[in-house]
Structure 1
Amino acid sequence: MYSDPEVLPLVTPVELAVATCGERVEGTMTMLKSAVLFAQHPIKVHIFADESLHRSLSDLLEKWPDTFRRRMNASLYPITFPGGQDKEWRHLFKLCASERLFLPSLLKDTDSLIYVDTDVLFLEPVEKLWSKFAQFGPLHLAGLAPEHEDPKAGWYARFARHPFYGRAGLNSGVMLMNLSRLRAASYKTDMSPLRLHWDEVLWPLFRKYRFNITWGDQDLINIIFHFNPEFLYEFDCAWNYRPDHCMYGSACPAAEDKGVSVLHGNRGVLYDAKNPAFRAIYQALRDFPWGGDVVQDLLDPLDQALSSAENTQCGRLSAQFTQGLRRTIVGYRAGWFGRRDVFGDVSKV
């Protein structure tokens, strides 16, 4: 089997985690579909969800064709929060999004994983993002992208009423987590001269800053890495591309260079008409028929939908949106992934 030259050999299997509550089942399934569709290897997925959603999630996964279902080993877990503070953590920001804060204690036998929000879409093989673990230094225990490339235009530098990482803060929608290191490390804070472990830091930080934080668990993550910047590996915006990167013009140099690798449709833009370019990509992946022709049934409808969005700021940058996806499809044609039988003719790409 050939392999994508940008992907380092896997040392451990890719593991992915997501937390879903409320009405995000369709979004969660589309995210998982995008991850599995182009994956080079089977993925182990940890799905944290309200127990009322377990049956529907299981039934939907069972409907996937065997060819693709075998590429994902999914485990379902209930949403749980420690210490009797279930209500506070569940409603901290988006419903149950703060579950990511507790993955080190909830998945004690897991070494590393990629956590993503339900509104994330993979446009390149998930292994490419996983390969960034190999770029961690000896102190790095998590990887995140900046909230904004320009601090003058970013939210944190202008409005935050709490400490945050670096000059522009961090966005937590896509997060590389070395759980072993997160569990083992001791963290500096502004609450005690003593260093505290991860599970000792969260509730005191929440209590101190609860009236100053706007973005919930993301703000707590920013506070932690403000005081412990040496623990943070920073990756570029192409791996967490959001509406802020295009709604006022092109604001992600990495995507200008190589295209979007991971799309993050925060602020609900995947599901409404506010940003037709983001919605077009979501709908194209959601509606792509398993085993369909990747050009005729995915790229062609997507190109047509994006052409209808050319009068919007993000729509004008549609070439960035599809560049990574086209590169992935060319990889199948070259036999990089050893899965040419899964798709139809890609010679037109």
Structure 2
Amino acid sequence: MRRYFRALVLCTVFAVFSGLFAYSRLFYSDVSVGNGSRRGPNPPRAAAAEPRSHNTHWYNRYIMRQRVQKEASRPDPPMHLAVVACGERLEETLTMIKSAVLFSIKQLHVHIFAEDQLHASFMEALEAWPAFIHSRFNYTINSISFPSENTAEWKKLFKPCASQRLFLPNILKDVDSLVYVDSDIIFLQPVDHLWHFLFQFNSSQLAAVAPEHEEPRIAWYNRFARHPYYGRTGINSGVMLMNMTRMRSVYFKNDMTSVGLSWDELLMPLLRKYKLNITWGDQDLLNIIFHYNPDFLLEFPCHWNYRPDHCIYGSNCASAEEHGIYILHGNRGVYHDSKQPAFRAVYEAINKFDFAKDPLTSLLDPLEKELLKTTHTYCGKSHTLFTKRLEHSVMNINRKRPRQR
């Protein structure tokens, strides 16, 4: 009996030591972790190093947070807006700039290209604006300049100096992107919303414009053009968003040579070939360029470039019917005659508005009353489209106005 008892004790001791041995081997050997990977034995310093790793983690988070805050405090690069003013376009151009600055959200840099005799007048008028308005934008005034070859020909193409826009990529070499507008443009919505189209460009697109017309039966290009044009009805270049970095770097297909030409190589041969066939000057040249390079162009809807053609024969801009007018384009001088009183009413409302006054009672309300006097015209019958988005823009102005003490 005693012999069996001794055997039992020996077996128990052996089992205990075997278990301890197996446990130690398991602890110091490779084991599977939750994601299926394998880990070797922890080095002796692993336990001591863990608090340092924990502190490093929080230190890294602190550094990252400081960087984010620093980047957030860094001002966004400004939006760039370009306009060309020649002849009797001083007041019209100032009114366009006023509408752009009044409603925009981000900082705006305006590039004014004007004849030398207008520089002092522009500076005097702009410097007279209130200080809180100057905090929203800055500007540069540039002389009109064309390539030395055929300068006079470029300057008189269609309208005085209008073809200057064709040379902006080579003049403003440090500017990546900009919005070009004719002087007869009125913004009824922040420039920021048009600027956002830049982020919708695919890898090949380098410009965005609106079609010349939405209704082919009354459109000009498909009925009268004697040269190639873009799409079904051509494009209108009065509002043009340009990625100039891409414009400077790509090669354009054309009908003059089998090889692609850069932007500055393309313009003069194009003018020589089509000079006798173009009616609308540089806009026709742009239509020809994008006819052969349609993948370079993004179309935005007509409410971003709303002209008398969209209402003179009845409403034919569906996107304006849905959203209201974002940008008003008073081409053919309608801001200054009595042919389209609805367009003139909007222009005069912006032109006469005093920055120091309440935009609701001094801009929107009087304009709505004036538009009601235009309902005898086709465009006047659509008068609610002229203020639909303007109302939203006016409501947002007061958030940026300085508080009265």
TM-score using structure 1 length: 0.92
- Give the structure 2 partner of residue 315 of structure 1: 380
CA distance in 2, matches of 1:225, 1:107: 22
The one-character-per-residue Cα deviations of 1:80-110 (angstroms, maximum 9, x if unpaired) are 0013311111110111010000001000000
Per the alignment, in what secondary structure is the counterpart of residue 271 of structure 1?
A: coil
1:26 to 82, 91, 103: 91
Q: Residues 275 and 222 of structure 1: is their aligned pair in 2 closer, same or farther, counting only changes over 3 Å?
A: same
Q: Are 1:186 and 2:254 counterparts?
A: no
Q: Which residue pairs with 1:324 in the alignment?
A: 389
Instruction: Decide which moves more: 321-330 or 308-317.
Output: 321-330
Deviation at 1:341, TM superposition (A): 3.8
Task: Please give the alpha-carbon distance, in whole angstroms, between the structure 1 residues aligned to 2:297 and 2:162.
Answer: 21
Unpaired stretches in structure 1, ≥5 consecutive residues: 1-9, 344-349
Q: Separation in 1 of the partners of 2:317 and 2:195?
A: 21
Structure with greater proportional helix content: 2
SS of aligned partner of 1:115: strand
Partner amino acid, structure 2, of 1:319: T
Counterpart in the other structure of 1:7? none
SS of residue matched to 2:217:
coil
Shift of 1:327: 1.8
Q: Percent identity?
A: 53
**Cα offsets for 1:120-174 (capped at 9, x unmatched):** 0000111011011111111000000000012222100000000000000000000
Q: In structure 2, what is the equivalent of residue 262 of structure 1?
A: 327
Which residue of 255, 267, 271 corresponds with 1:206?
Answer: 271
What is the CA deviation profile of residues 196-253 of structure 1, one whole-angstrom value per residue up to 9, with x for unaligned ones?
A: 0000110101000000000000000000000000000110001000000011111100
**Counterpart residue number, 2:203:** 138
1:255-307 alpha-carbon deviations (Å, 9 max, x no partner): 00000000000000011111000000000000011121112110121111111
Secondary structure of residue in 2 paired with 1:221 = helix
CA contact (8 A) 1:145 1:240 kept: yes
Matching of residue 83 in structure 1 with residue 144 in structure 2: no
Q: Distance in 2 between matches of 1:286 and 1:237?
A: 24
- Please state how far the C-alpha of 1:70 moved relative to its aligned partner: 2.1
Name the SS for the 1:314 alignment partner. helix
Counterpart residue type for residue 275 of structure 1: Q
1:42 to 107, 122, 133: 107
1:340 Cα shift? 4.7
Three-state SS of the structure 1 residue aligned to 2:209 is strand
**Selected match of 2:228 from 143, 155, 163:** 163
Q: 1:242–1:265: 8 Å Cα contact kept in structure 2?
A: yes
Kindly indicate whether residue 123 of structure 2 is the aligned counterpart of residue 58 of structure 1.
Answer: yes
Partner of 1:290: 355
Larger RCO of the pair (alpha carbons < 8 Å, separation 6+)? 1
Is 1:109 matched with 2:170?
Answer: no
SS in 1 for 2:106: coil
Are 2:371 and 1:306 equivalent residues in the alignment? yes
Distance 1:233 1:272 in 2: 33
8 Å CA contact 2:158–2:280 kept in 1: the answer is yes
| 1:42, distance to aligned residue in structure 2 (A) | 1.8
Matched, 1:217 2:278: no
Corresponding position of 1:128? 193
User: Gaps (5+ residues) in structure 2?
Assistant: 1-74
Once the two structures are TM-superposed, the CA of residue 27 in structure 1 deviates from its matched residue by: 0.2
Instruction: State the aligned residue count.
Output: 330
Match of residue 297 from structure 2 = 232
Letter in 1 for 2:218: A
Measure the CA separation in 2 of the matches of 1:20 and 1:33. 15
- 1:173 is paired with a residue whose SS is strand
- What SS does structure 2 have at the residue aligned with 1:152? helix
**Matches of 1:20 and 1:328, distance apart in 2:** 26
- Higher CA-based Rg: 2
Question: What is the SS of the residue equivalent to 1:60?
Answer: helix
Partner of 1:339: 400
Task: Check whether the contact 2:85–2:113 (CA below 8 A) recurs between aligned residues.
Answer: yes
TM-score in terms of structure 2 length: 0.80
Contact map agreement 2:324 2:387 (CA 8 A) in 1: yes
SS for the counterpart of 1:175 is: strand
What displacement does 1:11 show? 6.4
- Contact 2:359 2:397 (C-alpha < 8 Å) held by counterparts: no
Is this contact kept in 1: 2:95–2:350, CA < 8 A? Answer: yes
Q: Does 1:251 align with 2:312?
A: no
Contact kept, 8 Å, 1:291 with 1:342, in 2: the verdict is no
State the alpha-carbon separation in 1 of the partners of residues 114 and 262 from structure 2. Answer: 26
SS at match of 1:145: strand
Q: 1:57 to 1:342 in 2, by over 3 A?
A: farther
In structure 2, the CA distance between the partners of 1:198 and 1:39, relative to structure 1 (3 Å rule), is same
**Secondary structure, counterpart of 1:277 in structure 2:** helix
